[in-house]
Structure 1
Amino acid sequence: MKKKIVNLITAGVAMLFMVTSCVSDLDPESLGPNSVTSADAYKTPADYKMGLAKLYSSYVVAGQVGPGEASDISNLDVGFGVYLRAYWNLQELPTDEAVYTWAEDGGIRPLHWQTWTATNSFISAMYTRMMLTISYCNEFIRASQGSTDADVKKFHAEARFLRALSYYHALDLFGYPPFVTETDIPGAFSPKQTNPEELFAYIDSELTAIENELGEPRFEYGRADKGALWMLQAKLYLNAETYIKSPRYTECITALNKVFTSGKYALAANYLLNFRADNNTSPEIIFPINHDAKNTQTYGGMSFIVHGQIGGSMVPADFGVNGGWAQNRVTPEFVAKFADPSGATDVRAQFYTSGQQLEINDVGTFTDGYAVTKFKNKTLAGGPAPSGGNPDFVDIDFPMFRLADAYLMYAEAVLRGGTGGTATQALDFVNALRTRAYGNASGNITSGQLNTAFVLDERARELLWECHRRTDLIRYGLLTGGTYLWNWKGNTKAGTATEAFRNLFPIPASDLAANTNLRQVVIGY
């Protein structure tokens, strides 16, 4: 099933690009005989499914041809500018979970230092990719709305989900982005700016509206279904107190209970299955971003995560890839969250220490800081990646949402006063993760040990490099300020306090100059 949706991405990668490139605010029928419009592109449900594949592919690949050319966005590096790579950079590098070696264009290290400006090219990369995906979704939604075909109606709902997901990223990362929907016909206009309250309400209403239109949980691997929707709802509600200053923990629990009672998900017996080339077989993954070394070759996404974690004396062949890029490590403060960083007791302590020193004296030296071995482009049994594709790329799917995260969200929502859940169930969920991590009950905790601070640290241990850490630290009031410091926060080795407005990224200066409806809101969550 994974290969099925990935092959559709290959087949449909150009279709929606052609449509969005050619449609203006004119009547599509009057554009002339050489135009390509949705009326030409979409004739059958199969056509629509190929167009839908372009929406999914927008999270993985840069453009139309291959990993290093023909990006959908000009003047944006085809590797740096891939959606998932840009998202990973913004969610991980400003935290204690990741330090980056290369200097790049001068914009990457300020992400970890929390000294970025509105001209930062890596912030711009995420902003541009996110808004492009939203534009693709808008066009597909326009083309598919009103269809009476059951499959096309489902595709239409999936496109609305993917748009809601990208708008959730916009809410979480930027707070005050421009806002466009399918009702805004492409043409010469400047989008209006929204705010967290309006955007939260919009995402909430969209997810509610499409819930019954999406497929049942796990109806086809790699496609958005009701399980993915419930997880996105839970994320939105868990962070509502951050976004709109109104707690929605009960709503979070309600959404999560739907995940649990669906009966479609279970913890993988082996934690590491979730991060191997055959992780499409894991019963735990609720919504993946699919990767395939033959059909979705990219220097972003999981290829970046796997290659970027390898350097120093590490052997790339052990990770199932050609070469290491010597980019990302973790801070000593993060390593300290594991009682035994060797991984001998807690399997989630996936650190490489040989030739690496714990302290980071120089962010530009890969061997300063422990490396990470969590992701490998091999099967859990140690065999080669299933696609048989070029090992410059990978088959590992990115676990955007998985059951372990649902367990921990449930525990936190209960501890924060949400109703519809129990403290007993919250403890059982947390201990289920720890039993898997330790291989027995030796790491289990008691009810007296379960509090929100413990949950935050458990999320760090369980979800390392899965793009949750920045959002989690903001929810706890720890990303900025001086309460929690780590190596090179604020661009000092010991760490120093940073400004609260850095809980949000700035609207890129280039977009502010192009759109007079936008203003820089210099506040943070």
Structure 2
Amino acid sequence: MKKLINIRYFLIGLGISYFASSCVDLEEEVFSAVTADNFFKTDEEFISALGQAYSSLGGLGNHSGLWSINEIASDEIVVSHKGGDWFDGGVLLQLHQHEFQPDNPFLQNTWNFLFGGINTCNRLIFSFQQLDNPNSPAFIAELRALRALYYYWAMDAFGNVPIVTDFTSTEAPDTKTRKEVYDFILKELNEIIPLLPVAKDGTTYGRMTKWAALMIRMKLYLNAEVYTGTPQWALAAADASEIINSGRYSLSPSYKDNFAINNSGSSENIFVYPYDKVFAGGFNWVMMTLHIVSQSTFNLTQQPWNGYQTLEEFYNSYVDPEKNPGVQGPVWKGLALQPSTGTIDGRLSNFLVGPQTRADGTVLIDPGVEPTDPTGRNGDPNGPPLTFMPYLNEISPGGLRQAGARIAKYEFEMGGTNNMSNDFVIFRLSDVILSLAEARFRLGQTTEALALVNQIRARAGNLSPFTTLTEENLLAERGREMYVEMTRRQDLIRFKKYGSAWWPFAGMNRPKRVHSPGSFLELFPIPAPQILANPKLKQNPGYN
């Protein structure tokens, strides 16, 4: 019911947007019109208009935008060039190898996504400001919070971006420094957090609340040293503690519940985008990661694209290969994932690995497997069984069709379409707990930090608690818990590991681009089309 309420309002909002922008016959007799005088009278009417701003978030769950650039540029995800598939002009290889180019279309798509969302927020804020209505201030605060989220993502990715708040301005905006953007976001959040709703119920599901806005501010403070040069660990800890102590959120008993098809009941998710395969499409991971013949595994209505894969080293971080012989690098030697000894991380549900079958349980054959596949499964003249291997042989040009653990964090629907109905998790309590642990750790409060991290490990499954906490195991735990939640690139930068000699390319037959902490490569370049369209924008250093 929560999801249906919100999708209903989103759709009404989209309908208003279409009505307002479509062409009309000037000879037509108009019987009604949506205006400020006759529409913005009730909360429901305001919320339906707000749906236009929230619907912009629908770009998060698909290929070639903000999520893609963050994940492919991290050590979590790669899209290998598989024969004639997925070269795409080399743009995906550029992202993963940190050879960022201003003309990469993924960067342009990301910029359009972010500033399209900002523009919609500005337009609605302007509309609401024209109203003499007691409802306006609360909804304007909500829009400012959402705009702050878009700016936070823009600052994190591109650093120096324009600040635009006046919808009526016709002047091309100047580039602002990363510090100026940080200060702007912080000022906005400080002003509007007291005005935002505190409820966690069907009326606020999928909308900006005090807790979601606090989480944006917490993340600003957590990364303040990267963004401004001045750490703010104590302030990050204060915001994280306020969210936790509110008592409105709790860890779900099962990690997987947060990402189920029907995950609107999660006690842990703080802010989501409510996708729906019929009414709010665009969540395409089922297409992006599954093998072509996986269509038969889930009886999908369309054939997947066989693209996104997990790096072998990242997958192996969940499993001790000495205790769990199912993972032995650099080649996949076996298929057993349940060891007779040792411990197993319940968060391996993040991945799809091993033999795959049809929906009826029969063996699923991959007739197009390469003759060079090294696993010794080429004896069958009909082709070997489809088997997802954590092993990745190379990034290009001969990436194997079956290589790489596939992204299975969100439950796949049997009989599903190319659009998934799981609500996309933007913020959740686990991140808050681990962020508080890190802030405490940085402040020297290691006992409390250790206890917080072990909360997460205890929920993960049959794992031993850490007895000590180090930067290395704290970063690794964040990685395991927050896999593909668009935090990894940011975490690697904050922990000074991004692009370092530690960067894993083992076995992938490509040179790695090693760079030191603080490198210009920690920012993406401003997209070339934006520089051409607005000469006032300044390209980030290193990309000129």
Equivalent residue in structure 2 for 1:58, among 56, 59, 66: 56
Between the aligned partners of 1:14 and 1:107, the Cα distance in structure 2 is 35
How big is each residue's C-alpha offset from its partner over 1:424-468, in whole Å with a ceiling of 9 and x where there is no partner? 3322221121111124xx42111xx21222111001100111111
- Pairs within 5 Å for 1:341-380: 342=337, 345-349=344-348, 350-351=350-351, 352-354=353-355, 355-357=387-389, 358-363=391-396, 364-378=399-413
The structure 1 residue matched to 2:317, chosen from 320, 337, 348, is 337
The question of whether the paired residues in 2 share the 8 Å contact of 1:333 and 1:486 is answered with yes
Equivalent runs, 1:103-502 vs 2, <5 Å? 103-145=87-129, 149=133, 151-182=135-166, 184-187=167-170, 189-219=171-201, 220-298=204-282, 302-303=283-284, 305-311=285-291, 314=294, 317-318=297-298, 322-340=302-320, 342=337, 345-349=344-348, 350-351=350-351, 352-354=353-355, 355-357=387-389, 358-363=391-396, 364-378=399-413, 391-417=417-443, 422-439=445-462, 442-446=463-467, 449-480=468-499, 482-487=500-505, 493=510, 495-498=512-515, 500-502=519-521
Q: Quote how far apart the aligned CAs of 1:42 are.
A: 4.7
After superposition, the Cα gap between the structure-2 partners of 1:44 and 1:317, relative to the gap in structure 1 and judged at 3 Å, is: farther
Counterpart of 1:7 in structure 2 is 8
SS in 2 for 1:360: coil
Q: Label 1:212 to 1:484 Cα distance change in 2 as closer, same or farther (>3 A).
A: same
Measure how far apart 1:195 and its partner are.
0.9
Determine the C-alpha separation between the residues in 2 that align with 1:512 and 1:320: 42
CA distance in 2, matches of 1:18, 1:479: 46
User: Is contact 1:353-1:371 (8 Å) kept?
Assistant: no
Query: Per-residue displacement from partner, 1:166-210 (whole Å, max 9, x unpaired)?
Result: 00011100001122003x5143x2111111111111101111101
1:235-274 deviations in Å (ceiling 9; x for gaps): 1110000000000111101101111111010111010011
Contact 1:217 1:227 in 2 (8 A): no
Deviates more, 1:395-404 or 1:152-161: 152-161
Summarize deviations over 1:389-418 as a string: whole Å, max 9, x none: x62311111111111111111111111117
**Structure 1 residue 312 displacement after superposition:** 6.1
The answer to whether the 8 A contact 2:311-2:404 is kept is yes
* Mapped contact 1:328–1:371 kept (Cα < 8 A): yes
Distance in 2, Cα, partners of 1:320 & 1:438? 31
Pick one of 47, 52, 64 that aligns with 1:49.
Answer: 47
Q: What displacement does 1:505 show? A: 0.8
Aligned partners of 1:415, 1:247: CA distance in 2, in Å?
13
Q: Give SS of 1:59's match.
A: helix
Q: Secondary structure at the match of 2:347?
A: coil
Give the structure with higher Rg (CA): 2
Q: Distance in 2 between matches of 1:51 and 1:253?
A: 35
Secondary structure of 1:203's counterpart equals helix
How far did residue 21 of structure 1 move?
Answer: 9.6
Give yes or no for contact 2:73–2:98 (8 Å, CA) kept in 1: yes
In the other structure, the counterpart of 1:71 is: none
Aligned to 1:520: 539
Residues of 2 paired with 1:517 and 1:167: CA distance?
19
Aligned-CA RMSD value: 2.9
Q: Tell me the TM-score normalised to structure 2 length.
A: 0.80
Code of the residue aligned with 1:473 in structure 2: it is L
> Which whole-Å CA distance do the structure 1 matches of 2:152 and 2:447 have between them?
31
Counterpart code for 1:487: F
* Counterpart Cα distance in 1 of 2:38 and 2:123: 12
Change (3 A) 1:7 1:148: same
Contact 1:16 1:140 in 2 (8 A): no
Quick check: 1:95 aligned with 2:92? no
How many residues align? The count is 470
Q: CA deviation at 1:488?
A: 7.9
**Whole-Å separation in 2 of the counterparts to 1:318 and 1:475:** 39
Contact kept, 8 Å, 1:486 with 1:494, in 2: the verdict is no
Check the 8 A contact 1:114/1:498 in 2, yes or no: no
The code of the aligned residue for 1:508 comes to: P
Q: Which residue of 1 aligns with 2:528?
A: 509
Tell me the distance in 2 between the aligned counterparts of 1:319 and 1:53.
Answer: 32
Is residue 434–residue 444 contact of structure 1 (8 Å, CA) maintained in 2?
A: yes
Alpha-carbon offset, residue 152 of structure 1: 3.5
> How far is the alpha carbon of 1:523 from its aligned partner?
5.2
Structure 2: which 5+ residue stretches go unaligned?
24-29, 81-85, 321-326, 328-336, 356-386
- Alignment-mate amino acid for residue 198 of structure 2: E
Provide the rounded CA distance (Å) in 1 between the counterparts of 2:308 and 2:488: 15
Quote the Cα distance in structure 2 between the aligned partners of 1:454 and 1:391: 39
**After alignment, is 336-345 or 169-178 more displaced?**
336-345
Structure 1, gaps ≥5 residues long: 23-32, 63-77, 379-383
Distance 1:516 1:297, change over 3 A: same
Cα deviation 1:266-307 (Å, max 9, x = unaligned): 111010011111111110001111101111122xxx32x232
- Greater CA drift, 466-475 or 356-365: 356-365
Is the CA contact 1:217–1:262 (under 8 Å) kept in the aligned structure 2?
Answer: no
Tell me which amino acid in the other structure corresponds to 1:333: E
Given that residues 177 and 193 in structure 1 are in contact (C-alpha distance below 8 angstroms), is that contact kept between their aligned partners in structure 2?
Answer: yes
Q: What code does the residue aligned with 1:167 have?
A: Y
Shift in alpha-carbon separation, 1:227–1:362, aligned structure 2, 3 A:
same
1:53–1:316 Cα change, 3 Å = farther
Tell me, in whole angstroms, the C-alpha distance in 2 between the residues paired with 1:20 and 1:248.
45
- Gap change, CA 1:52 and 1:122, over 3 Å in 2: same
**SS of alignment partner, residue 485 of structure 1:** coil
| Secondary structure of the corresponding residue to residue 333 of structure 1 | helix
Between the two proteins, what is the percent identity of the paired residues? 29
Contact 1:485 1:494 in 2 (8 A): no
For 2:272, what is the secondary structure of its paired residue? strand
In 1, Cα distance between equivalents of 2:317 and 2:126: 48
Q: Are the structure 2 counterparts of residues 18 and 104 from structure 1 closer, same or farther at C-alpha, using a change threshold of 3 Å?
A: farther
- Cα distance in 2, alignment partners of residues 343 and 53 from structure 1: 45
Q: Take 2:34 and 2:232, find their aligned partners in 1: how far apart are those partners?
A: 42
SS of the equivalent of 1:286 reads strand
Give the 3 Å change call, closer, same or farther, for CA 105–456 of structure 1 in structure 2.
same
Structure-2 change in CA distance of 1:453 and 1:404 (3 Å): same
Tell me how far apart the structure 2 counterparts of residues 283 and 211 of structure 1 sit (CA, whole Å).
22
Q: 1:227 to 1:131 in 2, by over 3 A?
A: same
The one-letter code of the counterpart of 1:48 is: F
